[in-house]
Structure 1
């Protein structure tokens, strides 16, 4: 009977996990250890720059533990979307860490690298050939948009991970993948139920988030020909039909359907049964095959920013922070136009009132005046020099601007000196499209190396 046991240590490498839970998972003799390494939660800059958002120190420490777990279990270790964004540069970044750790531990292994980065010229050609289609709410694009991207990645599916595992690799470091692909690949290759493979992978993608104790991190998912069973490894964690079924809503617009390369997962008829007070059994999920497409993500430079922060404590200014900020913004805009010669459409000034409505803006529920207000001034312009200049134009207003003309000049608090902080280039996501492939490996590259063999 087809079976695959997948150990998922944590929702993402760098987030931490319960070490005892991981040890219990290794003792349960999994067939593979799979962990996600990426996220778009922190915005487009990491893809735009091709960098990880997690510290190298933390990544190396956790990766070392997982490499030790892999050696103890004697099974492959797979990471998807290595280095946050899954660009080629971050795959190589984690590969370098792998080589360091292998040398320190005296491990000899085979490492496979699956590259997901795309050449903008190749993607532009595919766009012109009609092989790229927009997803819902995708921005309008043209070849100029594509060529402006500093990084483009394609999201690998189960087929590409299966190809990497077929090399006999002990460790697979994959570029951008769907969160589910690294979990679904082995069960699918072993003949487990296709619907269960994708559904269990979706539930397991973030580790113990699908349990009552998300911080414990580690779960075990058993796949077979009829369904899957989720077992938390954290001592205090429990899986329930609610926690397991609810995960279909996580980062997904439809609680019953999930699009993946080559088809759609349909969980409309799925049943969720508590086997005991910790484990949940799921059956009835269906995989509906479709055209083979992979999602594209791309980021491009959207300008340059300079930010400043000032603090308002005076009760009059706190109570009238919105009006004060509007005046500062209007006067600063006027100065930029008249003194720098920029058109109003060439730049942007935004003052966010921390403690008032910086998060929700006009959707904020009215409440009592805060004790103090942080004014975050954001200047955006086509060049770094221009953004910095706008930041300096804002400076005297943020420090001294009075509510009325007939009162003494106030002085507010700058927590830093200099007050202006250049953020450099800022990025925006500009692709939310899919690329049609005749061969699943056509957009990906696979490289294997011996590590620690001298």
Structure 2
């Protein structure tokens, strides 16, 4: 696990484990002298369901395919492999799921690699104790936390920084499977362990967190960052892609509140004075990044809870008259629908909620981007939410004839709209919401995380 004292090369094969990459790009990264492979496996981008349910958004086959390539490469090159936010949300079940896949591959490939798993799920009692001690603080725009909210969560995770990963590497792990972690911590841990300066390390980690997204062709695979004592150089692993000063600098705009400063558990990355220089038509050199240590180390909490059960219906409208009067049709739908729910089920708006989304008209931006002319067709999605699945479906069924034949007030005939599925109602199951967006003041950077080491298997 040794690395050059003057530089550390981080291979980032893709933005998310299971998203796929070519064998050739990983081979090229190894040939260029990669010292560590780092890959993120999770995100909150797809909403709270995955944290709330403790399930992954990726399929096991895709994760196994990517891991097999990376485990082989790590074993052959004798370099560590680090995976962060296992199972999408980093729950304990997500880490166990990825660990089981890794175990199977190691056995099948007869690879002698030791594995460390780092759990990041937080017990409700721990969070409530720290809350009573005044050590839990809201992040804008969230308000103060209360114990009832903590108890309502199905899963709570803490977002680790580099320290637990670095500790696992120091203990001899060849493969580190981490629970919820910052995307950057996964790439920063090994260079920091090898003594690289924090400024260039954290900036490089930010740039490579999404693999080829910092290149001119994000679909072609990953990148290699070479971090040294004065900066870092980044290059794509696909020969047909390129890194440019704009493509690299632009990634600081991705998922950040401030394009010049980014918070990590240990402090702030500051790229105000960073310079981006093209070394040739494919590589970019970055210098001038700084890291400012925080007086108080913090760990961000993420938690999700069930808010009800949802049933969905989807129909399509191509009737030109309705499309030309879509707002009037929508207003009529809402009135007739709510009236019929009250008449047939005896419910009011405290018993259920619904959302009517008009795709092709204003479903995404609503009033921020008003349509200037009638579209050729509109897809109408009805989402009904209630305390039980049975009730949500019952309410959605009341809308069925309206979503099939409702005319505008001035139409003298019944139009025929087009349901996308049969049955028209699809039960989506429990619906979750994020309710924790807070940080915990830590006593030590690793106190909230639990690491288990498994020695390399012996093969007969």
Aligned-partner SS, 1:109: coil
1:147, distance to aligned residue in structure 2 (A): 0.9
Q: In the alignment, which residue of structure 2 is the partner of 1:214?
A: 218
Choose from 341, 345, 349 the match for 1:336. 341
Q: 1:179 aligned to 172, 179, 183, which one?
A: 183
1:70-89 equivalent positions in 2, closer than 5 A:
70-89=74-93
Instruction: Pick one of 280, 305, 308 that aligns with 2:310.
Output: 305
Task: Tell me the residue number matched to 1:231.
Answer: 235
- Return closer, same or farther for 1:337/1:127 CA change in 2, 3 Å cut-off: farther
Q: Are positions 1:447 and 2:452 aligned together?
A: yes
CA distance in 2, matches of 1:97, 1:162: 23
**CA apart distance, 1:338:** 4.0
Q: Which residue number in structure 2 is paired with residue 199 of structure 1?
A: 203
Match of 2:436 in 1: 431
* Farther off after superposition, 91-100 or 204-213: 204-213
Judge conservation of contact 2:118–2:452 (CA < 8 Å) in 1: yes
In 2, the alpha carbon distance for the partners of 1:232 and 1:373 equals 41
Q: Deviations over 1:386-445 (max 9, x none)?
A: 111111111121122222377233332222111111111111111111111111111100
Q: 2: distance between equivalents of 1:380 and 1:428?
A: 13
Q: Is 2:138 the counterpart of 1:168?
A: no
Equivalent-residue separation in structure 2 for 1:199 and 1:406 (angstroms): 61
Of residues 44, 55, 58, the one that matches 1:54 is: 58
What is aligned with 1:419?
Answer: 424
The aligned counterpart of 1:40 is: 44
Superposed counterparts of 1:292-441, under 5 Å: 292-404=297-409, 407-441=412-446
CA-CA distance at 1:346 after TM superposition:
3.3
Q: Does 1:22 align with 2:34?
A: no
In structure 2, the residue corresponding to 1:344 is in which secondary structure?
coil
Moved more, 402-411 or 4-13: 402-411
Aligned to 1:132: 136
Structure 1 residue 256: Cα displacement = 0.8
Q: 1:156, 1:81 → 2: CA distance?
A: 9
Write out per-residue CA displacement over residues 42-91 of structure 1, whole angstroms, 9 at most, x where no aligned residue: 11101111111011111111111111111221111110011111111010
Indicate the SS of the match to 1:215. Answer: helix
1:117-136 CA deviation, whole Å, 9 max, x = no partner? 11122112211211111112
Tell me the alpha carbon deviations over residues 76-112 of structure 1, each in whole angstroms, 9 at most, x when there is no partner: 1110011111111010000111111112212222111
Verify: 1:145 aligned to 2:149, yes or no: yes
Q: Contact conserved, 2:352 with 2:384, CA < 8 A, in 1?
A: yes
Cα pair 2:309 2:429 within 8 Å, conserved: yes
> For structure 2, which runs of at least 5 residues remain unmatched after alignment?
none
Residue-by-residue CA offset, 1:331-376 (whole Å, 9 max, x unaligned): 2222323443434233212211111111111122323322222111
In the other structure, the counterpart of 2:67 is 63
Q: Is the 8 A contact 1:329 1:350 kept in 2?
A: no
- Residues 128 and 336 of structure 1: CA distance in aligned 2, closer, same or farther (over 3 Å): farther
Counterpart contact for 1:109–1:452, Cα < 8 Å: yes
- Find the counterpart in structure 2 of residue 3 from structure 1: 7
User: Is the Cα contact below 8 Å between 1:212 and 1:243 reproduced in 2?
Assistant: yes
TM-score (norm 2): 0.95
Q: Quick one: distance in 2 between partners of 1:362 and 1:183?
A: 40
Farther-moved stretch of structure 1 (377-386 vs 87-96): 377-386
Over residues 235-291 of structure 1, what are the superposed CA-to-partner deviations in whole Å (9 max), with x where a residue is unaligned? 012112211111111100111101001111111111222222222111211111111
Deviations 1:188-225 (A, max 9, x none): 11111111111111111111111112112211111122
Give CA deviations for 1:136-164 in whole Å, capped at 9, x if unaligned: 21244311111111111111111111011
Name the CA distance, whole Å, in 2 between partners of 1:295 and 1:188: 21
Structure 2 residue 285 is the aligned partner of structure 1 residue 285:
no
Structure 1: unaligned runs, 5 residues or longer: none
Greater Cα offset, 131-140 or 87-96: 131-140
Asked if structure 2 preserves the Cα contact closer than 8 Å seen for 1:139 and 1:431, the reply is no
Does the 8 Å CA contact 1:18/1:218 hold for their aligned counterparts?
A: no
SS of match in other structure, 2:268:
strand
Q: Secondary structure at the match of 1:180?
A: helix
Matches of 1:317 and 1:92, distance apart in 2: 52
2:37 match: secondary structure: strand
Q: Pairwise CA RMSD of aligned residues?
A: 1.6
TM-score, with length taken from structure 1: 0.96
